[in-house]
Amino acid sequence: MPSVHNFAAFCCALMSWTGLCNSVSAEVLSRAAGHNTVVCAGGSDTVVSIPFHRPPSFSAAVNGSPVVSATTATISHKSERALENGDLTNEPHYLQFTDGGARSGSVFPISSHDASSITVDLGVDDLAGVTDGDRFQVVPFWTLATLFPKDTQSTIHVSAGKLAPTRKTRVLFFDDISQGSGLAPDRVYFLTTDGWFRSDRGFPVADNTVVPPGKALVIRHTSGDAGTTFIPRHLVFHGDYSTRLKTQIAGSQDNAIALVRPVPVKLSELDLETFFSDSTSTAAGNRADELLLYDNVATGFNKQPAATYFKVAGQWRRDDGATYPVADDETIPSATGILIRKAANGSGSTLLWSNTPRY
């Protein structure tokens, strides 16, 4: 492993061929920045992700042990900076543990804070293993308005009005609540000159709709819309990142997610070894977990994943319907989405998959 400063230079060299640059500061690894470019074809769905995060608003170490109450936890911090009212709630933020602690990479939405502590929503998760001194950073979420600002963005065709016949580009969110496989997107948004709205009764304002890290979106240009380019940009996720994978007691469960890495990632570098069940053979009837990849070059609406991968005896295979070639070195493009289809595991538990970057 190179030193910190050499590693920064290494990142810059590595990222130059993917359109990335580097702005180095004292915290070199946390300041690698850049962009990706994704072509969004006209009259088609394009599955995209945001492999960058916004600049942190706050960072500190945990002071003592978190205080858990039902589905929330309050974390005291050791920073000399006292948080002022609204610092982390005037816009939505998340807390991410960093620097190799027991929960390094885990992300939790912030619900409130005072001067010396932060309260997060746990959902179905917990803070097992978090101890005094563990580091964390607090980062503003991407929202539809910050990702696609109405006055400056060029990816989304602006709708002339709110009614369906006047709408242009839609942004669709995958269903991350329902059980089962083959889940359709369950939330639709569109942009007008007045901002973002949700396609529901009453057309709720959606400027502050959160786009969580590690989630994929669908950009749908309607028939007749010209193609555009999506250029996500900002700071690189440099450390571990954890993603929750849902399962079912009976039946398969889809998890529409995205890698947070700004470079192509080999299947063998996903760190899925203990989170991905091997198939007993290449036969379709012996299939366990699958990883499905969307094709953004092919055009169409409601596209099904174009490539399916699975593992046999710890080795990745691609389902070509005949020879099932070894696929360890095949890559997932940056700034796209994937679908992990978990086979039934008899417990219906949620797994916490953690990935470490290779750059």
Give 302-344 pLDDT, tens digit per residue: 998 999 999 999 999 999 999 999 999 999 999 999 999 999 9
Instruction: Give dist(CA 94, CA 88) in Å, integer.
Output: 9
- Which structure tokens are listed for 341? 């289809």
With cut-offs at 50, 70 and 90, classify the pLDDT of residue 124. Answer: confident
Task: Express as a percent the part of the chain with pLDDT over 90.
Answer: 87
Mean pLDDT, to the nearest integer, of 240-253?
Answer: 95
pLDDT digits (tens, 9 = 90+) for 99-121: 989 999 999 999 999 999 999 99
With cut-offs at 50, 70 and 90, classify the pLDDT of residue 359. Answer: confident
Query: What pLDDT shows up at residue 3?
Result: 33
Fold of 58-140: Thrombin, subunit H (2.40.10)
**For residue 53, is pLDDT > 50?**
yes
Q: How far apart are the first and last CA of the chain?
A: 10
pLDDT digits (tens, 9 = 90+) for 141-171: 999 999 999 999 999 999 999 999 999 999 9
Query: What pLDDT shows up at residue 31?
Result: 64
Which regions of the chain carry the CATH code 2.40.10?
A: 58-140
